[in-house]
Structure 1
Amino acid sequence: MALESLPGGIASLWDGIARQKITTIYAVIRAAAADRQGAEIALAYAATIPLVRYTPLAQAACLALFAAILAPAQGEATPSPAPASDPMPLSRFFTELFSRATSWLHWPPSEVWNASVAEIVTALEAQAERELRLAGIPSDKSAPAGNYTPERLRQIEEQDFDPAFDREGLRALKARHQ
């Protein structure tokens, strides 16, 4: 909640961290710290060392934090014995998905509206994997998300759309919200 309440929310923070913006990294450290005094001491020490030594490590830590707190994509979640929290309204889910696709992936809105949910989620996962790899954080993922095998993804790319996605349902949903 503390991270989402910062200007621009999680998407803006993700972008700033990916670009190694020191002010964004400091903001994430301050907002996510369990011990605020300890965070300020660590940041004061960081000001005394060259940024080239500090920034990649801080960036990797911030990306690891984001990887831990962002909800897993469909099909990746493991069952929990704890009762589920209140479900997210569908309109909020699509708003979040649209926001992440336009900010993290830098897709134009027209491209996002023409993509399936699975295509957007797959692209977001690939971007997250790329950022983690660039930060030197090893990935434990070896298989594509959900039921999308490399062969299936190739077929979708060849057809230029995912036949399993209900585009008419999406059009109807968009029409109701306009």
Structure 2
Amino acid sequence: MTPLARLEEVTVRHGGHVVTLRPTLRAAMTLERLYNGWSGFLLHFDQFHLNTVQTLIRASAVSHVAAEALLSSLEGKPLKQIKATLEGPCVALLSRFLNPTGDDEGQGAETPKKTGKALSWSDAYAELYQIGTGWLGWTPQETWAATPTEITEAFKGKLAMLKAIHGSAEEDPAPQANDYTPERLKEIEELGHDPAFDRNKLHGLKARLNA
């Protein structure tokens, strides 16, 4: 397990049950759509709707079996006890979904920014999926299981590698994230250069992901 993965994971404990939660891309897309956006989800969570809390845990749990065992152990318990057990870890997990960089200027439930204008969360997640399966050459399963932060950091590494190998050509058009399939990257390596590489535009793309 990488240090980054450990930082993003949250642990829930109750009795002898231990459940590890991860803010994966699949979970992010699932939860964001549940109530037509993160604002709607947070409203339900703030009111501690039990179904909402259970959905959050099920969507984010590394082990489905462990999650179901934990939730079963809480069935019939007073709501106050359930809240005391689950609220803290769930709040920590939501902070990782909504502010994965951990800085003081996280987006919260508001839409992320795309070069100065609003970008919907669903569009941002779709772009990360394209980067994972296109630029990085990961399988769909690997991309869904990664967190947005892991995808972004791996993407930065790929850009740094391309820059180190091929340099930059500012007069050329910028590549699109989904242009860089594994086949395309192999072709670039064989050619020894990438005529579509544009340093300035790539800085803009990285800024969109870090916004």
The verdict on a shared fold, with TM-score over 0.5 as the criterion, is: no
Q: TM-score, normalised by structure 1?
A: 0.40
Q: TM-score, normalised by structure 2?
A: 0.35
Larger Rg: 2
Which protein has the bigger strand share? 2
